[in-house]
Amino acid sequence: MKVFISMLALTIIFSCNRSHEGEPHADAEKPMQVVEKAEAGYDPESNLKDLGITLPTPSAPVANYVNAVRTGNLIFLAGKGPLKSDGEYILGKLGGDLSIEEGYEAARVTGINQLAVLKAELGNLNKVKRIVKVTGMVNAVPEFTDQPKVINGYSDLMVAIFGDKGKHARAAVGMGSLPNNIAVEVEMIVEVYP
């Protein structure tokens, strides 16, 4: 009797499986597909044009590193400095050679250079979901304490381009020196749409 019941149970299970062959089981886990799109009105590329900003060709790394590394939906941008369109850097120490206003402009120019790297990496700035973190380093004399006012040049640009998605966590710190005496150096972490 036990053998008969076992055989009957196997036959029922086998016939149920064959009748649904090729169909996914109702309880089977399906891979979750999330397709995110920027909300209406979000257009960093258009904002760039409205501000009259033309992105330069990103400068090549000068050592054994790359301009950007992507892992998952995050892009880590290497530090960049204030390289102007004429090929010259904004040089000097804040609180000594440069005013806060000049430092602000240096940070803004650095932001433009970082946007150029980001666009080269993504092809289109509309793929940016959020500016996550900015680390701003200010070349300054020891007595200078207005590093945040300088790095505001960078942060204000990110908000002008990306709106609320440009608001980020930030550090703005003073440095005793920076490479080649550049006024500022900034690195950034960006989240992008999948």
- CATH numbers and ranges of domains, the chain: 44-192 (3.30.1330.40)
What residues have CB less than 8 Å from 126, skipping those under 6 apart? Answer: 38, 42, 43, 44, 45
% of the chain residues with pLDDT over 70: 80
- Label residue 134 by pLDDT band (50, 70, 90): very high
Residues 168-194 have pLDDT tens digits of 999 999 999 999 999 999 999 999 999
Question: Token pair for residue 147?
Answer: 């590093």
Residues 145-174 have pLDDT tens digits of 999 999 999 999 999 999 999 999 999 999
Strand order from edge to edge, sheet including 68-71: 68-71, 74-80, 184-192, 128-139, 169-175
Residue 40: its pLDDT value, please? 78
Report the alpha-carbon distance of residue 85 to residue 126 in Å, rounded: 24
What is the pLDDT averaged over residues 82-92? 97
Report the alpha-carbon distance of residue 26 to residue 155 in Å, rounded: 49
pLDDT for residue 35 is more than 80 = no
Buried (b) or exposed (e) across 13-28, using 16+ Cβ within 10 A? eeeeeeeeeeeeeeee
Residue 43: its pLDDT value, please? 96
What residues have CB less than 8 Å from 191, skipping those under 6 apart? Answer: 73, 74, 75, 128, 129, 130, 132
Residue with tokens 């793929």: 127
Residues 5-19 have pLDDT tens digits of 444 444 444 444 444
pLDDT for residue 136 is more than 90 = yes
What is the pLDDT averaged over residues 106-110? 98
Residue 136 CB-half CA count within 13 A: 30
